[in-house]
Amino acid sequence: MSSRIRKYPGTEMDLKEIEAGKFLFSSYETVLRYSFTSGVAISRFLEGLKEGQLWARECDKCGRILIPPRMYCEEDFRSTDRWVRVRDTGKVNTYSISYVNNDASRRRTPVVVSVIEIDGASKGMGILHLLGEVDPRKVTVGMKVEAVWKPKKERRGAITDIVYFRPRR
Amino acid sequence: MVERVEIIGVGFEGFRPSITDLSTRELMYEAASKAYHDAGVDPRKDIGSFISCTEDLWEGWSIADEMVPDQLGGAGRPVCTVPADGIVGLGHAIMHIRSGVADVVAVEAHSKVADVLDKTAVENLALDPVFHRATGANSDVLAGLEMSSFMEETGTKRGELSQVVRSAKRKAMRNGRASYGATLELEEIDSSEPLALPLRRLDRPEFAEAAVVIVLASGSWAKRHRKDGVFIDGLSWRSATPWFEAGGVKTARYMQDSYRSVMKQSGLRDLSQFDVLEVDDSYSFKLVQHLMSMGVSKVGVMGMLKEGTALNPSGGSLGTGHLIEATGSHKVLECVLQVRGTAGGNQAKGVGRAFASSWRGNPTGAGAAIALSVGN
C-alpha cells in the first residue's frame, strides 16, 4: 500500500487462511550438507590457527604477501612461492556496526564486523573478523588492533580460534 | 563464411573418486595451468573470455561465479559461468569467438562432488515438487522406469546391458583417468545390488572428481600464432520437454536432434565416419538408447561393444566415474587425446575424427554433441 493506493484490486489472502490450508501450496524442505576440502593453502592456514599463528603466501613475481593464503597468484597466474608467517596484529580497513545476525534476525546489542589488514601482509590483504573490547562508537578506520585467541586447548583449526580483534594495547 | 573454431589446448587434474588434497579452486588451477601450457598461451594476456560450467547446488556455493576467476587467470577479466554440461560450455565459447567477444576462450568444468555429503538431496531438487518429490521417486527411480520401458519397447535383454557395463569396466582398466575399472563376469553384473529394478548398482556410474580445462581459439588466431589445433566441425545441444511422463523412451530426442545438427554442420553422413566415439553412458541402457537415437541399430550397438576400442575407449562414465558438469568435457578431452595420438592405454589407431556426446541426467531431457577432427 502507499499514500495513493489504499487497496489493490482482487481478493486479499489472509495469513490465517493460508495457515488453515484454504489455498493450495506445494511445500518442500531439504537439508543440504557439504564438507569442503580445505586444500593445501587453507589447510596450512587452519593448522596455524591452532598454534596461534597466521600464515600467508608470497608471490616472487609481484612481491605480494597474500592472506588468506592461496597457492596461486591471481594477478600473475603462477604458483606462489613460499609460506610467510605474518603477525596477529593489524589495522581496521573497514567496519560495520551490525544489528542483524547472519540469518537476518535482529540483535539487541550490535557486533562490530571488520576487515583487518594484517601486519606483514601486503596492503589490502586482510581477513574479516569481529572487533571486541571496544565501544562501537569509538571504532575508526586505521585503528590498530590485535588478535584475542582462544586458549590453546580450545582451538580446533577454525577462524573462530581468534575470538575477536581488540584495540592494540 | 563462419569462422572455424579449434581446440588449441587441454589440461586436466584429478580423476579420482575423491580428491582430498586439493580444494575446488586448487583443482581448477592445476587443470588450467596445464591447459594454458599445452596451448602455449598466457591467460592474463591472450585469453579474452573465461567460462566455467558449474551448478550452485553441486558447489554448495550460491552464485558460484564469484569463486571462479582467480584460479583460471580470469581476475578482472570477462568471466561467466554456464550451469550446464561442459559441451554446452564449449558451445558458448564458440559463440563468444564467432560474435567477436574474444579470439581465445577457456572453458572449465569440474566435479568436486565428494564434498557433497548427500548427493541425493541435491538430485532431488531437480525433480518436480508436485509430482515426483512427493512420491519419493529419486533420479535412480526415474532411470529404473525409463530403463524398464526402454527394454520393453526395444526388446533389450538384461544380458545385453550387462555387456555394456562389462565392456566399459574392462576398457577403464587401461585408462589412467578411469577410477572404476574392473574385470567382471556378466553374472556379477546381472545380480548386482538392485536399485530400482531393472536398474542395478552396476548399471549406473559411481561419482568421481576431476577438473578439465579446454582452450579454444578462432581459426584465424590459431593460424596467426601457428597453433596446431583440433577442429570443432560441429557442436549442438538440445533440451526436450521437462515432463518425464511424456514417454518416447525408444529415442532420446535431445540426442537425436543434437546429433543431426552436428552432422549437418560437419557435412558428415553417419557415426561410421568417426574413428572414435565417446557416447554418454550415464546408465548402461542410456548408451544403447543414445546410439540408437543416432541411427545405430541395437544389433549394431552390440557389435560395437565387441569391436575393440572405437566405442568409449576411455571406459565411459561407467568406467571413469560420473563427473557431473565435467562429464562432457571429459569425453571431449578423451577425443582430443585420441586424435593427437596421446590417449594412453586405449589409444586407437589412425584417429582423424572423433565424436562425443553428453546427457545432463535425470530428470532432464538435455543433451549435447560435438564432432572433432584433425588433418582434413
pLDDT tens-place string over residues A144-162: 999 999 999 999 999 999 9
A100 within a domain of the structure (yes/no): yes
The whole-angstrom distance between A132's CA and the closest CA on chain B is 29
Least confident of A91-95, B40-44, B237-241: B237-241
Q: Give the 3-state secondary structure of residue A153.
A: helix
Mean predicted confidence (pLDDT) in B338-351: 94
Total domain count, chain B: 1
A160's grid cell: 573462530
pLDDT computed for residue A7 by the predictor = 77
Residue linked to cell 535425470: B362
pLDDT computed for residue B136 by the predictor = 82
Least confident of A32-36, A104-108, B72-76, B92-96: A104-108
B188 within a domain of the structure (yes/no): no
pLDDT tens-place string over residues B13-26: 999 999 999 999 99
The whole-angstrom distance between A38's CA and the closest CA on chain B is 5
How many CB pairs below 8 Å do chains A and B form together?
77
B105 within a domain of the structure (yes/no): yes
Whether B254 and chain A come into contact, CB under 8 Å, resolves to no
Mean predicted confidence (pLDDT) in A32-38: 96
pLDDT computed for residue A8 by the predictor = 79
Cβ(A42)–Cβ(A68) under 8 Å? yes
pLDDT at B248 over 90: no
In chain B, residues with a C-beta closer than 8 Å to the C-beta of A79 are 33
The closest of A46, A84, A42 to A64, measured between CA atoms, is A84
Mean predicted confidence (pLDDT) in A42-55: 98
pLDDT computed for residue B376 by the predictor = 54
Total domain count, chain A: 1
In chain B, residues with a C-beta closer than 8 Å to the C-beta of A71 are 26, 29
Please give, one letter per residue, the 3-state secondary structure of chain B: CCCCEEEEEEEEEEEECCCCCCCHHHHHHHHHHHHHHHHCCCCCCCCCEEEEECCHHHHCCCCHHHHCHHHHCCCCCCEEEECCCHHHHHHHHHHHHHCCCCCEEEEEEEECHHHECCHHHHHHCCCCCCCCHHHCCCHHHHHHHHHHHHHHHHCCCHHHHHHHHHHHHHHHCCCCCCCCCCCCCHHHHHCCCEEECCEEHHHCCCECEEEEEEEEEEHHHHHHCCCCCEEEEEEEEEECCCCHHHCCCCCCHHHHHHHHHHHHHHCCCCHHHCCEEECCCCCHHHHHHHHHHCCCCHHHHHHHHCCCCCECCCCHHHHHCECHHHHHHHHHHHHHHHHHCCCHHHCCCCCCEEEEEEECCCCCCEEEEEEEECCC
A116 within a domain of the structure (yes/no): yes
pLDDT computed for residue B16 by the predictor = 97
pLDDT computed for residue A12 by the predictor = 82
In chain B, residues with a C-beta closer than 8 Å to the C-beta of A38 are 23
A155 within a domain of the structure (yes/no): yes
B131 within a domain of the structure (yes/no): no
Whether B66 and chain A come into contact, CB under 8 Å, resolves to no
Cβ(B331)–Cβ(B278) under 8 Å? yes
Q: Which residues of A9-18 are buried (b: 16+ CB within 10 A; e: fewer)?
A: eeeeeeeeee
Confidence band, pLDDT 50/70/90 cuts, at residue A43: very high
Residue linked to cell 532432464: B364
Considering only the beta carbons, identify the residue of B20, B29, B115 that sits closest to A34: B115
Whether B128 and chain A come into contact, CB under 8 Å, resolves to no
Decide if B23 and A40 are in contact by the 8 Å CB cutoff.
Answer: yes
Confidence band, pLDDT 50/70/90 cuts, at residue A65: very high
Q: Half-sphere exposure of B255 toward its Cβ, with a 13 Å CA cutoff?
A: 27
User: Pairing mode, if any, of strands B79-82 and B49-53?
Assistant: parallel
Rg of chain B (C-alpha set): 19
B233's grid cell: 566441425
Residue linked to cell 572404476: B180
Confidence band, pLDDT 50/70/90 cuts, at residue B307: low
Q: DSSP of A18-73, one letter per residue?
A: HHTT-S----------B----HHHHHHHHHHHHTT-EEEEE-TTT--EESS--SEE
Decide if A40 and B22 are in contact by the 8 Å CB cutoff.
Answer: yes
Distances (CA, A) of A145 to A55, A57, A119, A135, B154: 18, 22, 10, 13, 73
- Residue range of the domain that includes A113: 39-167
Chain A residues with at least one Cβ partner in B under 8 Å: 26, 28, 30-42, 70-72, 74-77, 79
Residue linked to cell 552436428: B262
pLDDT computed for residue B199 by the predictor = 98
The whole-angstrom distance between B30's CA and the closest CA on chain A is 10
A75 within a domain of the structure (yes/no): yes
Q: Work out the percent of chain A whose per-residue pLDDT is above 90.
A: 80
User: Pairing mode, if any, of strands A126-131 and B104-111?
Assistant: unpaired
Amino acid type, A54: L
In chain A, residues with a C-beta closer than 8 Å to the C-beta of B22 are 37, 39-40
pLDDT computed for residue A14 by the predictor = 87
The DSSP H or E segment spanning A5 is none
B150 within a domain of the structure (yes/no): no
ipTM of the complex: 0.91
Top residue of A37, A46, A61, A125 to mutate, by most chain B CBs within 10 Å, is A37
pLDDT tens-place string over residues B141-173: 999 999 999 999 999 999 999 999 999 999 999
Q: Give the 3-state secondary structure of residue A128.
A: strand
Decide if B26 and A74 are in contact by the 8 Å CB cutoff.
Answer: no
B133's grid cell: 518429490
pLDDT computed for residue B181 by the predictor = 97
Least confident of B32-46, B79-93, B101-115, B126-140: B126-140
Top residue of A44, A72, A102 to mutate, by most chain B CBs within 10 Å, is A72
CATH for B10: 3.40.47.10
Decide if A72 and B29 are in contact by the 8 Å CB cutoff.
Answer: yes
Whether B69 and chain A come into contact, CB under 8 Å, resolves to yes
| Burial of residue B340 (number of CB atoms within 10 Å: 0-12, 13-18, 19+) | middle
The closest of B222, B219, B223 to B233, measured between CA atoms, is B219
Higher pLDDT, B274 or B307: B274
In chain B, residues with a C-beta closer than 8 Å to the C-beta of A70 are 25, 70
Top residue of B19, B22, B61 to mutate, by most chain A CBs within 10 Å, is B22
B254 within a domain of the structure (yes/no): no
pLDDT at A11 over 90: no
Cβ(A35)–Cβ(B19) under 8 Å? no
Residue B311 falls in which region: left (phi positive, over 0), alpha (psi -120 to 50) or beta: beta
Confidence band, pLDDT 50/70/90 cuts, at residue B308: low
User: Pairing mode, if any, of strands B276-278 and B79-82?
Assistant: unpaired
In chain A, residues with a C-beta closer than 8 Å to the C-beta of B71 are 72, 74
In chain B, residues with a C-beta closer than 8 Å to the C-beta of A41 are 23, 26
pLDDT at B212 over 70: yes
The closest of B37, B87, B83 to B331, measured between CA atoms, is B87
In chain B, residues with a C-beta closer than 8 Å to the C-beta of A66 are none
B4's grid cell: 572455424
Top residue of B18, B26, B67, B138 to mutate, by most chain A CBs within 10 Å, is B26
pLDDT computed for residue A1 by the predictor = 57
B135 within a domain of the structure (yes/no): no
Distances (CA, A) of B322 to A137, B98, B190: 54, 31, 21
Considering only the beta carbons, identify the residue of A32, A34, A38 that sits closest to B23: A38
B259's grid cell: 546429433
**Residue B187: Cβ within 10 Å count:** 10
CA dist A59 and A80 (Å) reads: 5
pLDDT computed for residue B178 by the predictor = 97
Decide if B112 and A37 are in contact by the 8 Å CB cutoff.
Answer: yes
CA dist A113 and A92 (Å) reads: 10
Confidence band, pLDDT 50/70/90 cuts, at residue B1: low
pLDDT tens-place string over residues A80-95: 999 999 999 999 999 9
**Residue B235: Cβ within 10 Å count:** 24
The whole-angstrom distance between B305's CA and the closest CA on chain A is 38
B99 within a domain of the structure (yes/no): yes
- Closest residue, chain B, to A78 (C-alpha): B33
- Residue range of the domain that includes B30: 5-117+207-224
Cβ(B179)–Cβ(B260) under 8 Å? no
Mean predicted confidence (pLDDT) in A117-143: 96
CA dist A41 and B90 (Å) reads: 30
- Closest residue, chain A, to B127 (C-alpha): A28
Mean predicted confidence (pLDDT) in B96-124: 96
Whether B29 and chain A come into contact, CB under 8 Å, resolves to yes
- Closest residue, chain A, to B18 (C-alpha): A37
Top residue of B25, B34, B36 to mutate, by most chain A CBs within 10 Å, is B25
B27 within a domain of the structure (yes/no): yes
